[in-house]
Amino acid sequence: MTSQWTKWSRLLQVTILAAATCGIGSRLIAGEPTEQVKQTTEQILSVLRDPKWSAQDSHGEQVDAIQKLISTRFDWEAISQGCLGRHWPNRSETEKREFQSLLEEFLRRAYVEKITSSYTNLVEVRYLNEKVIDSYASVQTKVTTQKVDATVEYRLRKKPGDPGWKVYDALIEGVSLVKNYRVQFDEIINKSSYPDLVARIKKRIEEASDPELPL
């Protein structure tokens, strides 16, 4: 289980990395969803390449800047709801807001902080296909780095009255990011409780240790 999780976790790092740098080597005539991701991409690449962040004591500020930009393209409410699955309706509004905040911070510490050191390993991101059906879209990409070659599909939606396309799930080699966490979270809640799941996430955030391992 641990080795499988570690492998998948590393692919997830590539996924977030690709979301932060997609557009490199793109050959697809992009539609609106892809164009909006590219707009965010250019801003993130600007932060990654800006020499003012080269000082070691600026790392945290650089990560914060990247996180803010990524958050504009990810639908954290939908991701949180998907990760909790059937347990989401049972949570109060306060619990939902807390969980969304914790999940975003957990993923930031687990993966986003590694982008600054790993993005230079990215060789190419190619767009294979884009589909749009009403307010939902998928963008299929091929991500190539010096260590990993993976197919990544981003699933996006556009809420009524909001012109922005937001990522609500990503499939890495056919495996759903949201489903992967939902299975793990569901197991913890069933064996223990929802408060225990929250406590585990908080502990992992506070310790900032072994983010590639299951909770």
Asked, for residue 146, whether it belongs to a domain, the answer is yes
What length does the chain have? 215
Q: What is the pLDDT of residue 132?
A: 92
CA distance 113 to 127: 25
Asked, for residue 99, whether it belongs to a domain, the answer is yes
Q: What is the pLDDT of residue 6?
A: 52
Q: What is the pLDDT of residue 194?
A: 97
Query: pTM for the whole thing?
Result: 0.79
Q: What is the pLDDT of residue 162?
A: 84
Instruction: Indicate the residue type of 207.
Output: E
Domain that holds residue 27: 2-207
Asked, for residue 178, whether it belongs to a domain, the answer is yes
Asked, for residue 175, whether it belongs to a domain, the answer is yes
Asked, for residue 194, whether it belongs to a domain, the answer is yes
Residue 189 belongs to a domain with what CATH number?
3.10.450.710
Kindly report the three-state secondary structure assignment for every residue of the chain. CHHHHHHHHHHHHHHHHHHHHCCCCCCCCCCHHHHHHHHHHHHHHHHHHCHHHCCHHHHHHHHHHHHHHHHCCECHHHHHHHHHHHHHHHCCHHHHHHHHHHHHHHHHHHHHHHHHHHHHHEEEEEEEEEEEECCEEEEEEEEEECCCEEEEEEEEECCCCCCCCEEEEEEECCEEHHHHHHHHHHHHHHHCCHHHHHHHHHHHHHHCCCCCCCC
Asked, for residue 214, whether it belongs to a domain, the answer is no
Asked, for residue 19, whether it belongs to a domain, the answer is yes
**19 in Cβ contact with 154 (< 8 Å):** yes
CA angle 152, 167, 86 (to 5 degrees): 100
Number of domains forming the structure of the chain = 1
Q: What is the pLDDT of residue 71?
A: 82
Q: What is the pLDDT of residue 76?
A: 92
Number of other CB atoms surrounding residue 85 within 10 Å:
16
Asked, for residue 213, whether it belongs to a domain, the answer is no
Residues of the chain short of pLDDT 50, as ranges, are 1-5, 23-29, 211
Report the candidate in 137, 183, 209, 180 with the shortest Cα–Cα distance to residue 15: 180
Cα Rg, the chain, nearest whole Å:
17
